[in-house]
């Protein structure tokens, strides 16, 4: 004869176990998110299709390139870049410019493919978080999606391990306020953080940013701001006395 009380207890424990398994499975799925492949663009700290302006003095660690615009639109000087400067013509910064239009064509194509990949990832973990105001939040690994502009008005933290991946899909503009920091915790790495932005990106003055910006339009970095990441723009990148360091 079945003891109804014991049977009910077993059912409750089974339900709790199933719920725990579902939570663990969800965490494993988020932890297993694949990073975005950058292809030939992967050595660049800054890559732009229509030019890079600069208010002296900036410091860039990593390769820099512009294509298809002429090298005359790349306004960094040789001593501001620890890396290679690629242009499609010899009109770029002298004497350090490397003219390699075929390599740049491949790199720009891979940059565009990376944006398409990041912006097109399905099944986001969160949508419309904070109605686009995400200041003060702590982000676990996963995919975050907004149809609105996104603003960071207070420091945020991305917490996870060295193999975890974050993808932020922004359908409009993206703004980091003056003096605000994007922080990493728990071993999270900037090379695994991707910001896919359809509108313009603006990083305010004296701020700090982490991650790879894949922007379908332009990226403006204001005075004194530092970036541990990459700036990939399908139009222009503007710098003002910034420090840009490619992630490792």
pLDDT digits (tens, 9 = 90+) for 8-63: 443 333 333 333 333 333 333 345 899 999 999 999 999 999 999 999 999 999 99
| Residues 107 and 142 placed together within one structural domain of the fold | yes
pLDDT over 60 (residue 66): yes
In this structure, the answer to whether residues 11 and 122 fall within a common structural domain is no
What pLDDT score was predicted for residue 177?
Answer: 98
15 and 43, same domain (yes or no): no
- Around Cβ 147, how many Cβ atoms within 10 Å? 12
Q: List, in sequence order, every residue forming a beta bridge with 151; answer none if it has no partner.
A: 133, 175
Residues 68 and 187 in one domain: yes
Q: Same structural domain for residues 218 and 149?
A: yes
- How many C-beta atoms surround the C-beta of residue 139 within 10 A? 20
Instruction: Report which DSSP code applies to 181.
Output: B
CB 194 within 8 A of CB 37: no
Dist. CA 85–CA 56, nearest whole Å:
17
Beta strands per DSSP E along 27-165: 44-48, 52-55, 59-61, 63-66, 81-82, 85-87, 97-99, 126-127, 138-139, 142-146, 150-152, 156-159
% of the chain surpassing 90 pLDDT: 86
Q: Are residues 191 and 99 in the same domain?
A: yes
**How many domains does the chain fold into?**
2
Same domain, 232 and 119: yes
- What whole-number distance in Å separates Cα of residue 195 and Cα of residue 106? 21
Same domain, 106 and 27: no
The whole-number pLDDT of residue 17 equals 35
DSSP annotation of 96 reads T
* Domain limits for position 25: 1-31
165 and 83 in a common domain: yes
Residues 166-184: tens digit of each pLDDT: 999 999 999 999 999 999 9
Query: Per-residue pLDDT tens for 71-83?
Result: 999 999 999 999 9
| 123 plus 8 within the same structural domain | no
Query: pLDDT-based confidence at 207, cuts 50/70/90?
Result: very high
Task: Give the number of other Cβ atoms within 10 Å of residue 173's Cβ.
Answer: 18
pLDDT digits (tens, 9 = 90+) for 220-246: 999 999 999 999 999 999 999 999 999
**Residue 1: pLDDT above 90?**
no
Q: Within this chain, do residues 78 and 8 fall inside the same structural domain, yes or no? A: no
Residue 68 and residue 24 in one domain: no
């Amino acid at each position: 004869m079945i003891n109804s009380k014991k049977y009910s207890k077993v059912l409750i424990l089974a339900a709790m176990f199933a719920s725990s398994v579902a939570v663990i499975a969800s965490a494993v799925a988020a932890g297993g998110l694949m990073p975005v492949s950058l292809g030939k663009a992967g050595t660049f700290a800054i890559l732009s299709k229509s030019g890079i302006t600069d208010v002296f003095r900036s410091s860039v660690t990593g390769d820099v390139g512009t294509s298809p615009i002429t090298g005359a639109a790349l306004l960094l000087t040789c001593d501001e870049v620890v890396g290679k400067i690629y242009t499609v013509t010899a009109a770029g910064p002298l004497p350090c410019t490397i003219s390699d239009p075929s390599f740049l064509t491949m790199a720009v194509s891979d940059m565009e493919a990376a944006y398409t990949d990041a912006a097109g990832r399905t099944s986001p973990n969160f949508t419309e978080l904070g109605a686009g105001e995400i200041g003060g939040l702590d982000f676990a690994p996963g995919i975050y999606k907004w149809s609105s502009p996104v603003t960071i008005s207070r420091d945020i933290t991305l917490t996870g391990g060295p193999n975890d991946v974050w993808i932020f899909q922004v359908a409009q503009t993206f703004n980091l306020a003056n003096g605000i920091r994007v922080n990493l915790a728990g071993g999270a790495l900037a090379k695994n953080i991707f910001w896919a932005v359809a509108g313009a990106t603006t990083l305010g003055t004296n701020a700090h940013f982490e991650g790879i910006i894949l922007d379908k339009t332009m990226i403006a970095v204001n005075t004194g701001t530092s970036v541990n990441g990459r700036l990939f723009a399908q139009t222009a990148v503007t710098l003002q006395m910034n420090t840009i360091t490619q992630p490792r």
